[in-house]
A and B are shown apart, each in its own frame.
Chain A
Amino acid sequence: MTLQAVLVVAAALFSVGLYGAVSQQVVVMVMMGLELMVNAVVLAAAGLWWFLAPTPDGHVLLLVVLAAMTVEMAMGFAVATVLHRSRGADTTDSTTDLNR
C-alpha cells in the first residue's frame, strides 16, 4: 500500500462519479455521482494525510470534508423535494431553468 496506489484508486472513483454526475438525468442519481466524487476526495485526503503529514491538521480537514458531504446530501434532498412538488419533475432535463 503506497500513496500512489491510494491516489490511483481515488482517481478511478472520482472518474466514475464524474461520469454519473454528467450523464444521469434523475436528480437523485446526479447526487449519487457527486457523492462518489466527494468519497474519492475523502480517500485521497486520507492517503495524503497518512503518507505525507500525519498531523492533526489533516485529520480536522477530513472532518470538514465529511461535513460538506452531509450538507450536500441534505440540501440535495431538499431541492429534489421542491422540484418534485413544484413541477412534478425528477429529472434534470425538466429543470433547465430556475423560474417556474
Chain B
Amino acid sequence: MTGTWWEAVLFWSLGAVAVAAGWAVFRTDSMARATYALAASFVAVGAQVLLLHLDYVGVVTVLMMVMEMAVMAVYMVMFMGMNPALMPMSMVHSRRTSIGLAVGTFLVLGGGALLVPWPTRRGSPAPDLTASLGEAVMGSKMLVMLVVSPVLFATIVSALVLALPRSRYDRLGADLRRRPADDPQPGGVGR
C-alpha cells in the first residue's frame, strides 16, 4: 500500500507544512500569529488524514481545529493584556532541556517507526468508509458513543462551573429564594 507518486509528494509537502507551522507556533513573536500557525498545522494534518482515506475524521479535524483556533485567538486577546499581534514576546523557560527532550523523543519515535518490522495489512477497507463508521457507531460500537456523549456533556457542565464568575447560588442564595438577587450592579428593567 504505497499509493501513487503524487500522493507521496503531496503527503511529504503537507508534512513539511505541518511540522514547520507547528515549530512556528513557538518561534513567532506574537500570539495571534502563533494561533494562525497552529491552525495551518492542523489543516495540513487534516489534509494528510484525508489522503489516508479517513474522509470523515479529516474533515472534522479541519473544521473543529479552525474553530478552536478562532476561540484561542480570542482568549489570547482577553488574557494576555497586550496587543497580541504587535508586541514581541519570548516566554520560554528550560529552553535547552526542552529542545533536548524534543530531539530525543523524535529520535526514539522516528527510529522506532523505521526499525520496527511492521506487520502486513490485515483486512480490507469497506467500499464506503464513512457509512461503515456510522454503522459501527450505531451498531457494534455503540457503547463508545454511549460513553463519549456523557463525557462531553460533563465537560460542558464542568467548564461552565469553572468559568462562571458567579452562579445562581451566589445571586439567589443556597435555597434559590433570595429576592432581590444579590448582584453587584442593580441593572435589569428597574425592579
Bound CA span A35–B68, Å:
10
Known: A1-B11, A15-B106. Contact between A62 and B123, CB under 8 A? Answer: no
Known: A28-B75, A53-B122, A77-B159. A12 touches B8 (CB 8 A): no
Instruction: State the majority secondary structure of interface residues on B.
Output: helix
Inter-chain contact A63/B144, CB cutoff 8 Å = yes
Known A52-B118, A77-B71; judge A13-B152 contact (CB<8 A). Answer: no
Query: A90 vs B106: C-alpha distance in the bound complex, in angstroms?
Result: 29
A26 touches B98 (CB 8 A): no
Query: For the side of the interface on A, what is the size category?
Result: 35 or more
- Taking a contact as CB atoms under 8 Å apart, the answer to whether A59 and B57 are in contact is yes
Q: Residue on B with the closest CB to A48?
A: B118
Once bound together, how far apart are the Cα atoms of A82 and B5, in whole Å? 50
- B66 proximal to A (CB < 8 A): no
Which A residues touch B101, using CB under 8 A?
18-19, 22
Flag if B133 contacts A32 (CB, 8 Å). no
A11–B106 contact, CB under 8 A?
yes
Q: Known: A18-B102, A19-B98, A54-B125. Contact between A60 and B18, CB under 8 A?
A: no
Main secondary structure of the interface of A (DSSP, over half): helix
Check A1–B80 contact: CB distance below 8 A: no
A49–B159 Cα distance when bound, in Å, is 32
Given the known inter-chain contacts A18-B102, A77-B71, A85-B165, please indicate yes or no for A49 contacting B94, CB distance below 8 A: no
CA distance A22 to B96 in the complex (A): 11
Task: Say yes or no: A60 contacts B133, CB within 8 Å.
Answer: yes
CA distance A32 to B54 in the complex (A): 24
Question: Which of B7, B125, B162 contacts A81 (CB under 8 A)?
Answer: B162
Check if A29 sits within 8 Å of B52, measured CB to CB. Answer: no
Pairwise interchain contact A39-B45, C-beta atoms closer than 8 A = yes
| A35 touching B38 in the complex, CB below 8 Å, given contacts A13-B45, A15-B105, A59-B54 | yes
Q: How many angstroms between the C-alpha atoms of A76 and B166 in the bound complex?
A: 19
With A23-B26, A28-B72 given, is the CB distance from A12 to B57 under 8 Å?
A: no
| Cα(A33)–Cα(B102), bound, Å | 12
Chain A interface (Cβ within 8 Å of chain B)?
1-20, 22-26, 28-29, 31-33, 35-36, 39, 42-43, 46-47, 49-57, 59-60, 62-64, 66-67, 69-71, 73-75, 77-82, 84-85, 90-91, 93
Interface residues, chain B, with chain A CB atoms under 8 Å away: 1-3, 7-8, 11-12, 15, 18-19, 22-23, 25-26, 31, 34-35, 38, 41-42, 45, 48-49, 51-54, 56-57, 60-61, 64-65, 68, 71-72, 75-76, 78-81, 91-95, 97-99, 101-103, 105-106, 109-110, 112-114, 118-119, 121-126, 129, 132-133, 135-137, 140-141, 144, 148, 151-152, 155-156, 158-160, 162-163, 165
